[in-house]
Amino acid sequence: MMKFKATVFIRLRKQVDDSPGNAVRDASRRLSELDIKKLRLGKVIDIYFEAPDEEYAIKELDLLSDRLYANTVMEDWDFEVTEVDGFPPGVG
């Protein structure tokens, strides 16, 4: 078995209003002099796992991202997969 780390990025679709992102943008403007035009919040999921090969890992991550991690009515997703030599301390 090969060891992998995947990072799944989940973002609201462009046409979906991001009210929490707007609130963070407004608070950022009060705390900073940056001229922030747009700020959108999302989710990042880090996954450490074993799989027989990268092709299988990608197939399974596609399935999980599309059916479990993202609400595909409102969110888009993508991911990065890298092979790792080992897992960080505390990971199985």
pLDDT digits (tens, 9 = 90+) for 43-82: 999 999 999 999 999 999 999 999 999 999 999 999 999 9
Domains, the chain: 2-83 (3.30.1280.10)
Tell whether the model's pLDDT for residue 92 goes beyond 80.
no
91 Cβ neighbours under 8 A, 6+ residues apart: 48
CA–CA separation, 12 and 22 (whole Å): 13
- The pLDDT of residue 82 is 98
2-48 pLDDT, tens digit per residue, is: 999 999 999 999 999 999 999 999 999 999 999 999 999 999 999 99
pTM of the model: 0.88
Tokens of 86: 């080992």
Strand partners, 51: 2
* Rounded CA separation 77/44 (Å): 10
